[in-house]
Copies of this chain bind each other. A is one copy, B any other.
Amino acid sequence: MSHSQNQHIVLASRPEGELAVTDFRLENTPMPVAADGEVLLETIFLSVDPYMRWWVRAEKSYNDPIEIGQVMVGGTVSRVRQSRHPDWREGDVVLAFSGWRRFALSDGSDLRRLSPMAAPPSTALHVLGMTGFTAYAGLCNIGKPKPGETVVVAAASGAVGSVVGQIARIRGARAVGITTGAEKLAYVKHQLRFDAVVDHKAADFAEQLAEACPDGIDVYFENVGGRVFDAVVPLLNTYARIPVCGLISQYDDAPNGGGVDRLPATMAQVMGKSLTVRGFIQTEFAGEQMADFLEEATRWIGEDKLRYREDIVRGLENAPGALTGLLKGRNFGKTIVQVGDL
């Protein structure tokens, strides 16, 4: 396409049940022009994340829903194409929040400059971004694993879980991952180098988890919810810590089989074992710790101590399909849509 026109993707209809690519619409729009104090950004990479499913619901959750006809929002890695702002120059590569747009304007207040020489810029959307920092903040502030302790994390091949286990190992703890599927199990064990990995769809999952944690569990990083939790709780040690940052599986879980209220037994464990259960969102810690995290994690990537995997889809028009595929678990690694060239 020529750069005399812009393109964006809007929410075309409110999804009923499963989200479909037809709930989105690509539109051509006039090319935006930077006013004084603004920069014109060209999107290179677009982040596609599970929580976007909640943004297109009618109900308010932790943000306002996206309206019909509104451009989809989302984090991007972008290049400054034109600057009328003193702090930014043409060619700067930045972390932005342009949404599903080819070109966008910004007053600069929501941008962070990236150093393409230090790490691939796309990493700012995951391992050197929000998901990586979520893992770091939850482990450092709540999990606090000591050398030799056992850290368990579910969705271990995912954007958060993969970083949790690798930082646990960097801190001298044992990392035990939970995932499913031969490819992901092998990836967690051999590429991410967790000490052990367990398949949560195995019939004897609870027994396998107990075997993988002979000294019990000191930190359970809760990012899925659901039945994994039931297998973890009996293995928790006294003073174990449970950072809670996601409960994905709970939302579509069928109601618990026996109609059993698991809260009293869980609270009895909290009391009897002096457990710490602590919910968090990474923004709580970002102001104080993001700079330290970026410095440490960039170094770990350079030293091959922190690995990641990207699942890149090319073309803005394919963003809706990337999102619906992610929601069905078809991705393997962080889903990114490449819109422009680096």
How far does the Cβ of A130 sit from chain B's closest Cβ, in whole Å? 15
User: In whole Å, how far is A143's beta carbon from the nearest beta carbon of chain B?
Assistant: 13
Contact A267 B247 (CB under 8 A): yes
Assuming the A-B contacts A62-B272, A278-B276, A279-B272, are A262 and B260 also in contact, with contact meaning beta carbons closer than 8 angstroms in the complex?
A: no
Whether, in the assembled complex, A277 has its beta carbon less than 8 Å from a beta carbon of chain B, the answer is yes
Stretch at the interface among A149-157, A186-194, A250-258: A250-258
Is A274 within 8 A of B284, CB to CB? Answer: yes
Q: How large is the interface on A (under 10, 10 to 19, 20 to 34, 35 or more residues)?
A: 35 or more
- Picked from B260, B267, B270, B280, the residue with its CB within 8 Å of the CB of A274 is B280
- In the complex, the count of this chain's copies comes to 2
Contact B247 A271 (CB under 8 A): yes
B residues near A270, Cβ cutoff 8 Å: 244, 277-279
Contact, CB under 8 Å: B250 / A268: yes
Assembled-state Cα–Cα distance A250/B269 (Å): 12
Measured between alpha carbons, how far is A175 from B250 in the docked complex, in Å?
A: 34
- Max chain B Cβ within 10 angstroms of own Cβ: one of A225, A246, A272: A272
Which residues from 205 to 252 on chain A have a C-beta closer than 8 Å to any C-beta of chain B? 222, 225, 229, 238-239, 244-247, 250
Decide yes or no whether A259 CB sits under 8 A from chain B: yes
Q: Please give me the residue from chain B that is nearest to A275 by CB atom.
A: B279
Q: Is A18 an interface residue (CB 8 A)?
A: no
A263 adjacent to chain B (CB < 8 Å) = yes
Cβ of A53 to closest chain B Cβ, rounded Å: 12
* 11 A-B pairs in the complex with CB atoms less than 8 angstroms apart: A229-B263, A229-B267, A245-B271, A247-B264, A247-B271, A256-B264, A259-B261, A262-B263, A269-B279, A270-B278, A276-B277
